[in-house]
Structure 1
Amino acid sequence: MKKFLAALLGVTLLFAAGCGANPEAEAVKTTADSFLKAQQEGNLDEAAKYMTESAVQDMGTMSELRDSLSMYEEAGVSGDTLDTFMDSMLKAYRLIWEKYEIGDVKVDGETATVMVKVTGVSMEVMEKEMTEEFGANVAGQWAEDHMEEIQNYATGHTEEETFAWLMDQMLPAAGKEAEAKMDESERKASDYRLTLNKEGDDWKISNVEVKSE
């Protein structure tokens, strides 16, 4: 009986040791989870904290995206208009990351991979629908619906003033249209693979890859 009990305890201890958390794997999972939560919130600056410098350059930050619209502000378009437009686009982007489930985590030295099941609007739909053609169609429809209003404004203003005024009207409409179009899209489950590299004591995401749609 003593031998049986000792053997049983030995097996139990070995099993418990085998089930113990791998500190590096847990650190990798924590980084992945923090990154995904930031994506759900559409907070690109927060997401950037968990990414390598090269990955941040590929994905962009809030300030970089806002700066990309500076030419419109220089042309007289309201800053509030551009902020509203960006807010709508980020809301549309958040729909990609509505739900996620972290799966297999593998650590190999200074590199790690994390498999994630993401449910939401697929990245493929976002890339397919959010094009210059979509923007042109929205702008064209708005202009058609407000032609008399446009003509009345243009009569007493310069071309530069009219352009700025038009953008102040069209950009919020285009943003809301994009947001609505994405919200109406079918939700799908996609497999993502996150690749992470260790930088000092921290794990940073270096690549985000969609494995299947």
Structure 2
Amino acid sequence: MKRFLKCLFAMMMVVGLSACSNSEQEQEAIKVVIDSYLGNCKSGDYESADAFLSKDAGSDLEFAAVYSELDSQLESMGLGEDFDREARSFVQDFVSKTFMEYKVDGIQVDGDKATANITLNGKDTDEFDLNEIQDLTLNEVTNYINDHTEELQSYAENHTEEELEAKMYKDLSKVVFDKMKEMVAQLPEAETNLVFGLTKEDGDWKITSIQEKQ
């Protein structure tokens, strides 16, 4: 009987350690998914970031779709390649500064479902003042025209109105968007607590939701 009990106890220990080991492996796999997702978002590789989303994830989490819409809007505006490039650069800078640092506080696994608590540190983009952007843009345009009046007049004499506008957009785009980046850099920092929802799809963990912790 003692031998039987010893064997039973040993078997229970093995099962317990195995379960613990599996749980740790799952948590590590989930952490890799979160690290990869946030890392790709920060670097601007949004298609790679979206690869870590579940097929049931909301469309609001699909960064690639958002940037595709941005490209469509820029194309329809027709303000030139320089403006488009600077606009994309600003948006990427804006997004990356929303999570300059993050920490995985805890992961809970329940079968094929899991939640992860994340503390995000970055610029408080809620403080980004669009009215201030309008004032900044108007001021930069006014300064540009005042500082380049003769140059613009000379250019206009030998070019079409469309070409003149294209030159102005090209000259102003970097100046204005660089100023906007400076404004983002000067925003106060904020801490945000997020809850990632995850599920297993075909053996891999995928992100289903990202919500601010209440």
Aligned to 1:51, the other structure's residue is in SS state: coil
Q: What does 1:1-213 align with in structure 2 at a 5 Å threshold?
A: 16-17=17-18, 19-22=20-23, 23-53=25-55, 55=57, 57-58=59-60, 59-61=62-64, 62-72=67-77, 75=78, 77-121=79-123, 125-129=124-128, 131=130, 133-148=131-146, 152=150, 153=152, 155-156=156-157, 157-211=159-213
Q: Identify the range of structure 1 (163-172 vs 184-193) with the bigger mean alpha-carbon deviation.
A: 163-172
Greater Rg over alpha carbons, structure:
2
Aligned residues: 201
In the TM superposition, what is the alpha-carbon distance from 1:163 to its structure 2 partner? 3.3
Q: 1:143·1:150 contact (CA, 8 Å) conserved in 2?
A: no
* Deviation sequence 1:166-213 (CA, Å, 0-9, x none): 32233322321222112122222221111123322222212222226x
Q: Identify the range of structure 1 (196-205 vs 28-37) with the bigger mean alpha-carbon deviation.
A: 196-205
In structure 1, list runs of 5 or more residues that go unmatched: 1-5
* Deviation sequence 1:113-136 (CA, Å, 0-9, x none): 111111111xxx3244163x3442
* Deviation sequence 1:141-168 (CA, Å, 0-9, x none): 1112122356552643544334333322
In the TM superposition, what is the alpha-carbon distance from 1:85 to its structure 2 partner? 2.5
Structure-2-length-normalised TM-score: 0.75
Q: Identify the range of structure 1 (157-166 vs 98-107) with the bigger mean alpha-carbon deviation.
A: 157-166
Q: Structure 2 CA distance, aligned partners of 1:163 and 1:55? A: 42
Q: 1:130·1:178 contact (CA, 8 Å) conserved in 2?
A: no
Q: Identify the range of structure 1 (178-187 vs 112-121) with the bigger mean alpha-carbon deviation.
A: 178-187
Q: 1:15 to 1:53 in 2, by over 3 A?
A: closer
Q: 1:146 to 1:117 in 2, by over 3 A?
A: same
Aligned to 2:187, the other structure's residue is in SS state: coil
In the TM superposition, what is the alpha-carbon distance from 1:50 to its structure 2 partner? 0.8
Structure-1-length-normalised TM-score: 0.75
Q: Structure 2 CA distance, aligned partners of 1:176 and 1:55? A: 34
* Deviation sequence 1:7-53 (CA, Å, 0-9, x none): xx969878755642414333322211211211232322221111135
CA RMSD of aligned residues (A): 3.2
In structure 2, list runs of 5 or more residues that go unmatched: 1-5
* Counterpart residue identity of residue 21, structure 2: G
* Counterpart residue identity of residue 81, structure 2: G
* Counterpart residue identity of residue 71, structure 2: R
Q: 2:115·2:195 contact (CA, 8 Å) conserved in 1?
A: yes
Q: 1:41 to 1:135 in 2, by over 3 A?
A: same
